[in-house]
């Protein structure tokens, strides 16, 4: 997808207020983003016009109970780019979603600052790392986690703490660009482990193509 | 109690194992008294008899010899009361003089009765010396040797022709050794009892000290909450209001903070105290309608706890109830007091109050709990609030006798039961010790002195087999009883009374199978022996029972003598002297045992309890003083200067900088209050306490946590949170607080969007750094109006990898 093409989105969320907030943020985007369908059921993403949307914004906690991991898996397996957009500020859920192949995991308190960027990145199959997710990856102690360098771990944690790449860059004496490249590299490392998924593979492929990571790093 | 310089001082108290415990000390003392009294009575009685029975011509010389001996006994008895007045050498010389004088009276008085009497006097004396000089065995042994020498000398002088009779000397040696062994056994068990009592007491003391420290900590925190913390919060939140109340209040707070909690003594009139509950001023005024049935005299600890609680509750009415009137009632109930504050305001749901709000839980409930009372809060939304304080006097006798207990430190209600248990334990050990000693005496006596007599005199018994069977029967009784004793078990009643019956049967058989004219003489091996067996069997019963047995035993022998036909006066006299010599001695030992078990054991228990209480009180006092200094020192760098400034008008609450500093200190104090909460993640709990203070000021704070929480020592938590608390305290609008747990470290961070600069933000971490060597790294980054402060601590490398 070219860098200025319009992006279509389907929003699956059972809260109308969230929906109107999301639409307002998208409207302010420099690159056009249109919500083609919205509703309180994951069916919206499978039926036209939602079935062809570039990005699915999925609330994990729909009315019918537990986290909708099954819905997420089916969407990912169908090759859809899914942004999990959740009330749960919970690292276990975030790690599970990444493993299943979600493009990114965003908490609702981060929506204002990060949803637009995350959507664009997902549409382009580029990595995106919001702070809450960075905190989850920085403190991950699961046995199947990818090997991170001390610096990568530090950047993750400090990004989570400060929510400001400028502050992280200043503290570490590096540029914001370098901060971003650390975050991207971690995201790619995560895409390269765990459950195989097409979205994860294309994320890795795109990153190698863009020169974000070296094949030898993985 | 004042025996040989055992007066406790600090050094000895610190090393309780280095000196005899109270049980051992009192046993030694009791045995010494026993020895002196027994010897004095025997010497005086037998000596008087000797003088009376002597020939008229010999009386002056006998008097010259024996009266000084009596005087020496009297001096020795007096010395028991005033042990420090007499040097030990003098006492020893007196004892030696008694033996020598009584021994020399034997040839002077002359005759067979004199021989028996002197033998009894010297024999008893050398046994008694072993108890008198128990702590100095060489002195006792020397006196025993002297006694033996005097006996030999007396025999030689009174009947120069006869050869030296070794048998009485050997008997004397056996008796001396037995007394020494009995002493060692009893002392060993008393010592063991002391040791295990000391171990248990030390554990108990630790618990009591810890409880007292917690109680005083609670009281101090409650005081802080009501005074400095409340004042600082008000200053930090307020602006443009009337601050005229502030300087006096700040000065009062300083006084309250510097007072050591829990050391007020005496009692107070609660009615008078409640009359002084401040009603507040201006808008915060609450009119109190009081109905107090005074006077209400109660100890000052609970009194002040109630007063402080009521004060806090009145301010709560002003703050939360929405009414300007409350009713304060107080009355007596039993030996305690009840105070009740009620209002008709808007009320609340007590269950909905968060745990970190300390007005009710800390100032009212916990404070009352700490002094052994209760406080209950009853409230429902829209239905008013009623707070009730109850305090009741200590129940039971446990607290009555000990006068000045530390007020504010609750004495455990189990103290009396504990004392009883201690006494029972000491008594059990002493009983076992005395039983072992008596068993040893029985067996050794039976198989040395008695066995020799039985063998030598086989031909005089009619029939001999009956006596032999009796001997075996006694041995069986001793062995069976000994088996129970050595296995640490009590004698079952059947065994006890069966054995006693057998012993009495032995007494009868031996009395009736011996020619009456030889009764209690040399061939009568059983007469002096069965008493020991009986004493062993009856050791834990009242001494009356043993006396009754001895009466029956003597009665049987007297009956046998009587039935043998008209006994001579000499026969009666021999029987009488033997009765006094053996049964009298046994009875005195029985009395001694009874005294040890029913007098010494409780006294030892009480003495141990008193010493223990002294030590506990000292420790509590020391620890409280130290804790208080520590706590106050922690505040001197931070809160104290602020309150001093506010109290003397140097710092003005109109100044934003001052208000921000108050906010910081209030947050720090809230963190301190949260330290004591029992929660799974204390770091987060304390952080939340700080966050809440700032949120009260209208600052928006987001708090996120990542990773798996772990253990962080309290001083590290202090140093981790303090920089965050300082930054939060100076934040004007929004802040983000995070806690990150990795397997290697915990990192607490705050990003403040618009942090007011000020001189104390830089020195924040120094304020609490005290003497701890916890390595907490603080990093600080400023960018525009944003301030990012992070404190990190490397965790010890034990946290494993989470495999889930």
B279 pLDDT exceeds 50? Answer: yes
Lay out the sheet containing B776-783: strands in order across.
B700-706, B734-741, B745-752, B786-794, B776-783
**Dist CA B272 CA B285 (whole Å):** 20
What's the CATH number for B670-794?
3.30.565.10
DSSP labels, B437-462? HHHHHHHHHIIIIIHHHHHHTGGGSS
Q: Provide ipTM, 2 decimals.
A: 0.90
Query: Taking CB atoms and an 8 Å limit, are A138 and B747 in contact across chains?
Result: no
Residue B274 in 3-state DSSP?
Answer: helix
pLDDT band at B361 (very low <50, low <70, confident <90, very high): confident
Sequence-separated contacts (24+) of B169-174 with Cβ below 8 Å = B170/B448, B171/B123, B171/B449, B172/B122, B172/B123, B172/B126, B172/B144, B172/B147, B172/B148, B173/B148, B174/B444, B174/B445, B174/B448, B174/B449
Task: Provide the pLDDT for residue B8.
Answer: 36
List Cα–Cα distances, B612 to A75, B398, B413, B422, B649, in angstroms: 75, 14, 16, 12, 50
* Secondary structure letter of residue B281 according to DSSP: -
What's the average model confidence in pLDDT over B525-539?
89
Q: What is the pLDDT of residue B7?
A: 37
Residue predicted with more confidence, B637 or B265: B637
Fold of A7-217: Rossmann fold (3.40.50)
Query: What is the Cα–Cα distance from B660 to B234, expressed in whole angstroms?
Result: 11
**Which chain A residues are closer than 8 Å to B742 by Cβ?**
138-139, 141, 153, 157
The confidence score (pLDDT) of residue B282 equals 67
The average pLDDT across B213-240 equals: 78
Mutation site for B-interface testing, chosen from A157, A166, A174, A176 by largest number of B Cβ within 10 Å: A157
Average pLDDT, chain B: 80
Mean pLDDT value across residues A176-199: 86
B101-143 per-position pLDDT tens digit: 888 888 877 777 777 778 888 888 888 888 888 888 899 899 9
Task: Lowest mean pLDDT of A40-54, A141-155, B749-763, name the range.
Answer: B749-763
Q: Write B108-112 long-range contacts (CB < 8 A, 24+).
A: B108/B54, B108/B58, B108/B61, B108/B62, B108/B65, B109/B50, B109/B51, B109/B53, B109/B54, B109/B55, B109/B58, B109/B62, B110/B54, B110/B55, B110/B58, B110/B158, B111/B53
What pLDDT is stored for residue B80 in this prediction? 86
- Confidence at residue B793, expressed as pLDDT on a 0 to 100 scale: 92
Sort out which chain B residues have CB atoms less than 8 A from A170's CB and list them: 781, 783
Indicate if the pLDDT at residue B617 is higher than 90: no
CB contact under 8 A, A132 and B704: yes
In sequence order, which residues have a C-beta less than 8 Å from that of residue B456 and are 6 or more positions away? B523
For the record, the structure tokens of A137 come out as 């990856």
CB B491 within 8 A of CB B537: yes
Q: Chain B 692-711, CB below 8 Å of chain A: which residues?
A: 702, 704, 706-708
Q: What percent of chain B has pLDDT over 70?
A: 88
Closest CB from B702, B708, B788 relative to A109: B702
Per-residue pLDDT of B688-706, as tens digits, reads: 989 988 888 888 999 999 9
CA-angle at B19, arms to B14 and B20, nearest 5°: 130
Tell me: pLDDT of A92 over 70: yes
Per-residue pLDDT, A63: 66
Higher pLDDT, residue B11 or B654? B654
Is residue A127 scored above 70 in pLDDT?
Answer: yes
- Does the beta-carbon distance from B736 to A153 stay under 8 Å? no
Interchain CB distance below 8 Å, B751 and A162? yes
Segments of chain A assigned E as strands = 7-12, 33-39, 55-58, 81-86, 104-107
Predicted pLDDT of residue B355: 65
| Residue pLDDT, tens place only, B259-273 | 665 544 456 777 777
In which band, very low, low, confident or very high, does the pLDDT at B797 lie, cut at 50, 70 and 90? Answer: low
Task: Give me the residues of A, 42-101, that contact B with CB < 8 A.
Answer: 89, 91
Name the average pLDDT for chain A: 86
Under an 8 A CB cutoff, do B788 and A135 touch? Answer: no
How confident is the model over A161-171, as pLDDT tens digits?
A: 999 999 999 99
pLDDT band, very low/low/confident/very high, at B403 (cuts 50, 70, 90): very low
Chain A CB contacts of B708 under 8 Å are: 139, 141
Whether B747 contacts chain A with CB within 8 A: yes
Q: Output B686 or B566, whichever has higher pLDDT.
A: B686
Query: Cβ B740–A135 below 8 Å, yes or no?
Result: yes
Of the candidate ranges A105-119, A165-179, B199-213, B654-668, the one whose mean pLDDT is the lowest? B199-213
Q: How confident is the model at residue B398 (pLDDT cuts 50, 70, 90)?
A: very low
Per mean pLDDT, which range of B81-95, B409-423, B462-476, B763-777 is the poorest? B763-777
A163 by DSSP, 3-state: which?
coil
Contact check, Cβ <8 Å, B786/A164: yes
Average pLDDT over residues B154-180: 80
Mean pLDDT in residue range B568-585: 76
* Cross-chain residue pair B790–A136, CB shorter than 8 Å: no
Percent of chain B at pLDDT exceeding 90: 9
Write out B725-770 in H/E/C secondary structure. Answer: HHHHHCECCEEEEEEEECCCEEEEEEEECCECCCHHHHCHHHHCCC
Q: Shortest Cα distance from B783 to chain A (angstroms)?
A: 7
Q: Which residues of B touch A90 (CB under 8 A)?
A: none
Q: Which of B781, B789, B793, B798 to mutate to test the interface with A (most CBs of A within 10 A)?
A: B781
Kindly report the nearest CA distance between residue B771 and chain A, in angstroms: 29
A-B interface: how many C-beta pairs under 8 angstroms? 70
d(CA B463, CA B476): 21
| pLDDT at position A55 | 92
Whether A138 has its CB under 8 Å from any CB of chain B: the answer is yes
Mean pLDDT of B170-192: 87
Q: What are phi and psi of B240, to 5 degrees?
A: 55, 30
Domains B264-405 and B670-794 fall in the same CATH topology: yes
User: Which CATH class name applies to B264-405?
Assistant: alpha beta
Residue range A53-67: average pLDDT? 81
B707/A91 touch (CB, cutoff 8 Å), yes or no: yes
Q: Residue B3: is its pLDDT beyond 70?
A: no
The pLDDT tens digits of the residues spanning B705-760 come to: 998 888 888 889 988 998 998 898 888 889 999 999 998 899 999 999 877 765 44
Q: Which residue of A has its CA nearest to B703?
A: A161
Angle of helix A176-191 relative to helix A165-172, nearest 10 degrees? Answer: 110
Nearest CA to CA, how far is A163 from chain B (Å)?
Answer: 9
* Closest residue in chain A to residue B745, using alpha carbons only: A139
Cα gap B69→B74, rounded to integer Å: 9
Residue B691: phi, psi to the nearest 5?
-60, -40
What are the residue ranges spanned by the domains of chain B? 1-164, 264-405, 670-794
pLDDT for B416-458, tens place per residue?
677 777 788 888 888 888 888 889 888 988 898 888 888 888 8
pLDDT exceeds 80 at position B613: no
pLDDT digit string, tens, across residues B306-354: 888 888 888 888 888 888 888 888 888 877 889 999 988 888 887 777 6
Residue B5 has pLDDT above 60, yes or no: no
pLDDT one-digit tens code per residue, B138-155: 998 999 999 888 888 887
């Amino acid at each position: 997808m070219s860098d200025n093409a319009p992006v279509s989105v389907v929003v699956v969320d059972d809260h109308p207020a969230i929906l109107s907030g999301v639409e307002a943020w998208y409207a302010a985007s420099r690159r056009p983003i249109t919500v083609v369908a919205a509703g309180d059921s994951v069916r919206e993403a499978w039926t036209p016009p939602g079935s062809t949307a570039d990005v699915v914004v999925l609330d994990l906690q729909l009315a019918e109970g537990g986290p909708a991991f099954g819905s997420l898996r089916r969407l990912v397996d169908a090759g859809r780019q899914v942004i999990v957009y959740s009330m749960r500020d919970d690292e276990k859920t975030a790690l599970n979603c990444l493993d299943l192949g979600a493009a990114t995991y965003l908490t609702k308190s981060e929506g204002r600052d990060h949803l637009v960027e995350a959507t664009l990145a997902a549409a382009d199959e580029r990595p995106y790392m919001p702070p809450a997710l960075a905190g989850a990856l920085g403190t991950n102690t699961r046995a199947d986690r990818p090997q991170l360098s001390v610096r990568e771990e530090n950047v993750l944690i400090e990004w989570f703490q400060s929510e400001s790449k400028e502050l992280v860059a200043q503290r570490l004496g590096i540029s914001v660009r370098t901060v971003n490249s650390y975050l991207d590299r971690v995201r790619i490392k995560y895409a390269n482990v765990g459950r195989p998924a097409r979205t994860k593979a294309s994320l890795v492929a795109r990153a190698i193509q863009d020169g974000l990571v070296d094949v030898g790093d993985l | 109690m004042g025996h040989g310089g055992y007066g406790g001082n600090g050094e000895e108290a610190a090393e309780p194992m280095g000196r005899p415990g109270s049980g051992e000390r009192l046993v030694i003392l009791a045995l010494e008294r026993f020895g002196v009294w027994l010897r004095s009575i025997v010497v005086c009685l037998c000596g008087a008899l000797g003088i009376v029975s002597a020939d008229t011509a010999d009386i002056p010389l006998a008097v010259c010899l024996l009266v000084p001996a009596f005087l020496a006994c009297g001096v020795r008895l007096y010395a028991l009361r005033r042990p420090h007045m007499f040097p030990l050498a003098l006492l020893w010389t007196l004892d030696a003089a008694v033996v020598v004088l009584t021994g020399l009276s034997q040839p002077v008085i002359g005759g067979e009765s004199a021989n028996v009497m002197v033998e009894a006097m010297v024999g008893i004396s050398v046994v008694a010396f072993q108890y008198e000089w128990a702590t100095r065995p060489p002195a006792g042994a020397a006196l025993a040797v002297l006694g033996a020498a005097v006996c030999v000398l007396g025999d030689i002088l009174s009947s120069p022709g006869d050869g030296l009779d070794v048998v009485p000397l050997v008997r004397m040696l056996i008796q001396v050794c037995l007394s020494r062994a009995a002493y060692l056994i009893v002392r060993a068990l008393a010592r063991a009892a002391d040791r295990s009592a000391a171990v248990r007491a030390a554990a108990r003391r630790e618990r009591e000290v810890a409880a007292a420290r917690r109680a005083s900590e609670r009281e101090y925190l409650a005081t802080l909450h009501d005074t400095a913390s409340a004042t600082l919060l008000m200053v930090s939140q307020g602006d443009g209001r009337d601050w005229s109340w502030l300087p006096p209040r700040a000065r009062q707070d300083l006084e309250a903070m510097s007072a050591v909690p829990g050391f007020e003594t005496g009692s107070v009139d609660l009615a008078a105290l409640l009359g002084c509950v401040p009603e507040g001023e201006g808008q915060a005024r609450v009119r109190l309608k009081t109905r107090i049935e005074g006077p209400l005299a109660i100890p000052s600890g609970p009194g002040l706890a109630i007063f402080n609680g009521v004060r806090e509750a009145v301010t709560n009415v002003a703050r939360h109830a929405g009414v300007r009137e409350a009713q304060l009632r107080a009355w007596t109930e039993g030996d305690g007091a009840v105070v009740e504050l009620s209002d008709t305001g808007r009320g609340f749901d007590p269950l909905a109050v968060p745990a970190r709000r300390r007005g009710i839980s800390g100032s009212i409930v916990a404070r009352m709990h700490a002094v052994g009372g209760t406080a209950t809060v009853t409230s429902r939304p829209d239905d008013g609030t009623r707070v009730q304080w109850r305090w009741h006097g200590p129940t039971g006798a446990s607290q009555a006798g000990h006068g000045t207990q530390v007020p504010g430190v609750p004495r455990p209600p189990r103290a009396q039961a504990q004392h009883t248990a201690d006494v029972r334990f000491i008594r059990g050990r002493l009983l076992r010790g005395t039983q072992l000693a008596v068993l040893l005496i029985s067996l050794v006596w039976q198989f040395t002195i008695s066995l020799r007599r039985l063998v030598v005199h086989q031909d005089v018994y009619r029939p001999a087999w009956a006596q032999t069977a009796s001997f075996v029967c006694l041995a069986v009784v001793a062995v069976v009883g000994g088996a129970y004793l050595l296995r640490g078990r009590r004698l079952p009643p059947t065994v006890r009374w069966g054995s006693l019956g057998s012993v009495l049967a032995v007494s009868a058989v031996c009395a009736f199978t011996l020619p009456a004219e030889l009764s209690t003489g040399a061939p009568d091996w059983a007469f002096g022996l069965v008493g020991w067996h009986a004493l062993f069997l009856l050791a834990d019963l009242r001494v009356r029972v043993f006396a009754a047995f001895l009466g029956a035993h003597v009665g049987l022998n007297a009956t046998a003598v009587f039935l043998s036909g008209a006994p001579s006066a000499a026969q009666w006299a021999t029987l009488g002297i033997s009765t006094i010599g053996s049964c009298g001695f046994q009875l005195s030992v029985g009395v001694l045992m009874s005294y040890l078990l029913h007098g010494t054991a409780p006294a030892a228990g009480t003495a141990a309890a008193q010493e223990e209480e002294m030590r506990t009180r000292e420790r509590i006092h020391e620890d409280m003083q130290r804790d208080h200094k520590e706590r106050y020192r922690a505040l001197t760098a931070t809160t104290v200067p602020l309150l001093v400034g506010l109290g003397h008008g140097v710092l003005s609450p109109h100044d934003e900088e001052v208000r921000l500093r108050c906010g910081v200190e209030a947050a720090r104090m809230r963190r301190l209050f949260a330290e004591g909460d029992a929660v799974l993640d204390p770091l987060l709990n304390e952080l939340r306490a700080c966050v809440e203070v700032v949120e009260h000021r209208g600052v928006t704070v987001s708090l996120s946590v990542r990773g798996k929480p772990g253990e962080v020592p309290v001083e590290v938590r202090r140093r981790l949170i303090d920089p965050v608390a300082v930054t939060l305290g100076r934040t004007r609008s929004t802040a983000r607080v995070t806690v990150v747990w990795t397997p290697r470290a915990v990192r607490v961070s705050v990003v403040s969007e618009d942090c007011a600069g000020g001189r104390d933000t830089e020195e924040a971490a120094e304020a609490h750094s005290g003497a701890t060597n916890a390595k907490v790294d603080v990093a600080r980054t400023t960018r525009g109006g944003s301030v990012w402060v992070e404190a990190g601590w490397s965790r010890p490398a034990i946290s494993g990898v989470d495999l889930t």
